[in-house]
A and B are shown apart, each in its own frame.
Chain A
Amino acid sequence: MSAPLLVVQNLSKNYDGLLAVDCVSINFQTMEVHAIIGPNGAGKTTLINLLSGDLLPSLGRITFKDRNLTDMPSFAISQLGIGRSYQKTNIFPDFTCWQNCWLGAQSRLSTSMRFFKSAKNYAKIHQQTEQALALCGLEKHTDNLASEISYGEQRQLEISMMLATEPELLLLDEPLGGMGTSETQKMIKLIKQLARDRTIILIEHDMDAVFALADTLTVMVNGKVLATGTPDEIRKSQDVQNAYLGTEEENK
């Protein structure tokens, strides 16, 4: 197996004495969909925030393609080709869908310290924006305000905005959260499509979706990694059954 795309070593995040992420080490391989599952409060979102630079780790090391990301701010990590979506929809509600994606695409200019040429006249950004909207099936909402489209579409828009930055690694934090059945199916299809030429790290509570999408699973409990393996291995693991999947089944 070739060298992993992203390596997390002994990563910890300490919030005033609470270890939200506790000495986590995971290898994320190129071109895989790697899902992180676990009960609420397991530290999954904190882990994603550490990877994206929204939070700085207390200890440990993150390496992306041999570059040390550990203390990089979020904008620099984004520039390296790591895009993320948030658990709670995080878009620009007063912008149109087009403007949302446009801003993402524009971030790939060498600089946006450009003052005179109208933003409309950058052909490459136009193309990137259009592609990103089309990938998520949002062409019909180009001119609609982001606040006016449905919740499911807003989730798609957030992904579309991230795609406009042309990332090779996507960090998706509960992309299916709060969605209806048909929206969920659409999103699963989209993620499958994106996975064809991108690496994806996915946090998700919907176990059917996780097992449909993931190549590798990591189970987290109380800030620690409990197990990592293929979906089959995880399904069969007694530890995981006890800690997590079992209770999930009973709830159904």
Chain B
Amino acid sequence: MHKFANPARFMRLSNIVLPWITGLTILLFALGLYYSLILAPEDYQMGNTYRIIFVHVPAAYMAQFGYGVIAVSSAIGFIWKHPLADQAARATAPIGAAFTALALLTGSLWGKPMWGTYWIWDARLTSMLILFFLYLGYIAVWQAIEDQVKAAKIASIVSLVGLVNVIIIKFSVDWWNTLHQPATLMRMDGPTIGGNMLIALLLMIAAFNMFFVAVLFWRIQSLILQRRIRSLRLQLGGGLG
């Protein structure tokens, strides 16, 4: 069965690597949180509230990164019919969607002290919201199609069409935003970042990245096992196993 040759190797490899990644994630989070909550100085304008960017910025970054991962692995899965790539794309989607939701949540929480309201149709938040919609559509495709091989193909087309469109949508939202709102608002990248703030931010981004990889490995493992159970059941169910 060449179909499971690759996933089997992945299972072996990931079982070795996963504990290390998990350890690294915990270490990076501990360091990152220490830096961002204690070492990074208070902002002279915004006080302590700005510290939410240490969660918001990495989350927003991971949200976009996640969609990129989906698109790249979908392309690999579609062109070379690599079963592991399809599973990777599928496993990434909920993680990316969760990061997008986190970015939206922290963004709107930050909006309250900044703008006096939880939601503002700022270009970044709006783009993030649309990215969230795209994630939802992608996840829905996987859920709607019973046949996993077919679902993988359809989902990969969805993600690739989404990828080219997301760039255009981002551009058009920026275009729309600059025309509708005078650019006097505080932007997320408003304060200049330096010193310990920058180190804290980089550490948090690294921690989020590691966390992403760990959860991704773990989810791919569970998807592979799920598939194995399905095919074993089908073999039991009869026919020509």
Query: Do A and B truly interact?
Result: no
Which residues of A come within 8 Å of B, CB atoms? none
